[in-house]
Amino acid sequence: MTYTCAEYREEMLLLSLRRRLAEQDLTPAEREELSNQIRVLEARMGMAEG
């Protein structure tokens, strides 16, 4: 299995979104937006639950 640059980039983006979501000083709207971005990215990567 080949690990592509695009896959690496998506993983790093997901990691950064998750780290940002863990920050304490986010508004509810920011948390919701980050959660939505994470769900979309996970679905694109085939990691979506359910």
Residues 13-25 have pLDDT tens digits of 999 999 999 999 9
- Which residues lie closer than 8 Å to 42 by C-beta, 6 or more apart? 14, 48, 49
Cα distance between residue 21 and residue 19, in whole Å: 5
3 pLDDT higher than 90: no
| pLDDT of amino acid 34 | 98
pLDDT band (50, 70, 90) for residue 1: confident
Q: Structure pTM?
A: 0.83
Interval 23-48: pLDDT, tens: 999 999 999 999 999 999 999 998 87
